[in-house]
Amino acid sequence: MKFLVWRTVAVLFIFFGTSILPSLGSYEPKLGTIIFLFWILVALNALDAHSTYTGLMAGATEKNPTLSILMEKVGILPAMMLVKLPSLLLLAVFLVLSAYFKANKTSFSLLVALLAYYAYVVVCNYYIIYFKIREV
């Protein structure tokens, strides 16, 4: 029952977080806002890596099949770094190009959607660690 409540909260966060995107209208996000949101995304990725590592050490299983296979081949931490660092680097390049071409609304929309997704992942990961695994 608790998991259903946490998942509902996370889904509502995603819904309300991304529902503002179509209503931006004439709002033009500043470059500083884009950079700030990017660093929040980096922090959420770090929390995702921490919660994944903690969960795996406590007995959980990785649900991402690609990452799971990679973890078996090279280890948990190297696999997470191989997946997370290039994706964050690609996002940073995209944001730099967006700033250069004055496409801040696109960057803002992408960042809000990614922030909502990673917030959901982190909440679910920590929920599983603290309410599912620790009960056993």
One-letter-per-residue 3-state SS of 22-54: HHHCCCCCCHHHHHHHHHHHHHHHHHHHHHHHH
Going from the C-alpha of 64 to that of each of 23, 36, 71, 102, 121, the distances in angstroms are 33, 28, 10, 35, 12
Amino acid at position 129, single letter: I
Give per-residue pLDDT as tens, 58-90. Answer: 888 898 899 999 999 999 999 999 999 999 999
Enter the tokens of residue 136: 């056993």
Would you state the pLDDT for residue 49?
94
3 state DSSP class of 93: helix
Q: Looking at the predicted structure, is the pLDDT value of residue 1 above 70?
A: no
Would you state the pLDDT for residue 25?
63
Distance separating alpha carbons of residues 126 and 52, to the nearest angstrom? 9
Give per-residue pLDDT as tens, 3-47. Answer: 555 566 666 655 555 555 555 567 778 888 888 989 999 999 999
With 0-12 / 13-18 / 19 or more C-beta atoms within 10 angstroms meaning exposed / middle / buried, residue 100 is: exposed
Q: For tokens 């470059």, what's the residue?
A: 31
Would you state the pLDDT for residue 44?
94
Specify the pTM. Answer: 0.78
